Amino acid sequence: MTMLQGIAESLRAMTLLHLLLAFLACMGYLVAEGQLAPVRMRLYGGLVAAASAIWFVIDSPQWTAGAMLVALAVGIVGLFTALVWLLSAALGLRHAVSVAAAQPATETVGAPLDRRVQVAAATRPGALTSH
């Protein structure tokens, strides 16, 4: 039996617990690697991913096939991330649009009239444009 046949057999033998552990491992990995969550949540996501992956490997009928499945899942997520990065680079979307927050205008008593008009025009809605 080859290694790929062993992995296919372990996929057929997966129980609901294995599916739950695989789901938790993948979701925890995505939370840990993404930039949407704060640092503390990313740390917890990494811990959940590692614990779920280890439990998945231990509970698999053949631990080598379980380890190969975990490595395959991490590799597929990495490949997907690399493809998204390349596509965004090809489309020119790598640089995030910077939006400057409108600062409250502080006017002095002795400011010239044209300066006050410029400040009022810059703080009106719709005055900010993206580059």
> How far apart are the C-alpha atoms of 30 and 80, rounded to whole Å?
11
Token pair, residue 7, equals 């992995």
Mean pLDDT of 105-121: 57
Q: What is the domain count for the chain?
A: 1
Asked whether residue 108 is domain-assigned, the answer is no
- pTM for the structure as a whole: 0.59
Asked if 22 and 56 touch (Cβ cutoff 8 Å), the reply is yes
Asked whether residue 71 is domain-assigned, the answer is yes
Asked whether residue 106 is domain-assigned, the answer is no
* Of residues 31 and 128, more confidently modeled: 31
Cα distances from 58 to residues 18, 29, 51, 65, 127, in angstroms, run: 10, 18, 11, 10, 59
pLDDT over 60 (residue 121): no
Asked whether residue 44 is domain-assigned, the answer is yes
User: Tell me, what's the pLDDT at 10?
Assistant: 73
Q: Which domain holds residue 82?
A: 3-91
Planar angle of CA 42, 47, 50, nearest 5 degrees: 125
Asked whether residue 31 is domain-assigned, the answer is yes
* Of residues 122 and 35, more confidently modeled: 35
